[in-house]
Amino acid sequence: MLYHTLRHRWLRLLIAGIGALIGAISLNVFIVPQGLYTGGLMGLCQLIRNLVFAHFKVGFGGADLAGILYFLFNIPILALTYRALGRSFIFRTLACTALYSIFYSLVPIPAQPVIEDPLTSCLLGGILAGVGSGIVLTCGCSGGGLDVVGLYLSKRGSHFTVGKFNLSFNFVLYAVFLFLFDPAVVIYSVIYNYFTAMVLDKMHQQNITVQVLIFTREDDPELPRYIMQKLSRGVTYWTGWGGYTGRELRVLCVCVSKYEIEELRHAVHQTDPHAFFIIQEGVVVDGNFDRRVTSA
């Protein structure tokens, strides 16, 4: 069902919008009332805004300089990743960036923290933020910023996942925060971003590589052809024999992203209802393996 949902453009954008709403709730309800800092590109923009105001006393009326900088910084990022991630992804990124901005404006910020304990706020906020961003990325969308850079590096074969890249960037960013702000606030902010990154990598299914072994008695070339043509994945197969029955069978081996599993499962059951699988998640794949952003 997930795979088919991701093939419907507007339904996918709707689900991505729900993810953006979850992200806005996590930040405005749990993190901002505690006086903590978000990370990533927006955290960098907040740092620049605070330094500009502190040293130059420059105001921008009702506009938030951090939001303006965030938009401007996304322009070269999207230009850099355009060829690798595709026009449809850039369009969805622009749409989701707009949704993020709207939700961040509409979700009310409590005058007092909803949960007094800052550590609990960090945990809940980080989990919700990771879930929201993971939904957005799994739908082939992005709110811009470091998520786009992380996707670009992952697609180019880097060992960085989206969450790991965000975590590395935030390590440097919070090292700067540590010299400028209250250490306790920085520590809690780091905890928040750590849980966001961990949950994000679990939710972002394109990051999860799955090895599938398919055991079938059917000697039909349709299944390997389907895997290669419809999923655009390479497949290796060989002949084996059942240890109990002694009967000949075919073993197919293919590596896919987690979100492609349901489509593969459906195709196998249609070809041979008696076939069975061995599915192993989180395998390490190197070399010529395509890490994708879902297409339109």
Q: What is the mean pLDDT of the chain?
A: 77
Higher pLDDT, 227 or 130: 130
Distance between CA atoms of residues 134 and 208, nearest Å: 12
Average pLDDT over residues 247-276: 79
Distance between CA atoms of residues 89 and 254, nearest Å: 26
Residue type, 213: L
Higher pLDDT, 279 or 219: 279
Distance between CA atoms of residues 114 and 204, nearest Å: 28
Q: pLDDT tens across 42-91, in order?
A: 788 778 877 887 777 665 554 556 667 777 887 888 777 777 677 777 77
Distance between CA atoms of residues 88 and 135, nearest Å: 17
Q: What's the pLDDT at 240? A: 84
Q: What's the pLDDT at 161? A: 65
Average pLDDT over residues 172-189: 86
Domain covering 208-281: architecture: 2-Layer Sandwich (3.30)
Torsions phi, psi for 255 (to 5 deg): -110, 130
The pLDDT confidence band at residue 296, using thresholds 50, 70 and 90, is very low
- Is beta strand 248-257 parallel, antiparallel or unpaired with respect to 209-216? antiparallel
Give ∠ CA 19-201-229 in degrees, rounded to 5.
85
pLDDT surpassing 80 at residue 222: no
Higher pLDDT, 62 or 177: 177
pLDDT surpassing 90 at residue 123: yes
Residue 45 is encoded by which pair of tokens? 């923009």
Torsions phi, psi for 113 (to 5 deg): -55, 135
Q: What b/e string do you get for 99-134 counting C-beta neighbours within 10 Å, with b at 16 or more?
A: bbbebbeebeeeeebebeebeebbbbbbbbbbbbbb
Query: Highest mean pLDDT: which of 49-58, 188-197, 221-230?
Result: 188-197
Average pLDDT over residues 211-216: 84
Q: Contact, 210 vs 257, CB < 8 A?
A: yes
Q: With pLDDT > 70 as the criterion, what percentage of the chain qualifies?
A: 80
How many other C-beta atoms lie within 10 A of the C-beta of residue 19? 24
Q: Contact, 293 vs 140, CB < 8 A?
A: yes
Average pLDDT over residues 229-240: 80
Residues of the chain with CATH 3.30.70.120: 208-281
Give ∠ CA 188-165-287 in degrees, rounded to 5.
150
Q: pLDDT tens across 242-251, in order?
A: 877 778 888 8
How many other C-beta atoms lie within 10 A of the C-beta of residue 240? 12
How many other C-beta atoms lie within 10 A of the C-beta of residue 267? 16
Higher pLDDT, 85 or 114: 114
Average pLDDT over residues 9-20: 82
Distance between CA atoms of residues 165 and 161, nearest Å: 6
**Sign of the alpha-carbon dihedral angle for 77, 81, 85, 87:** positive
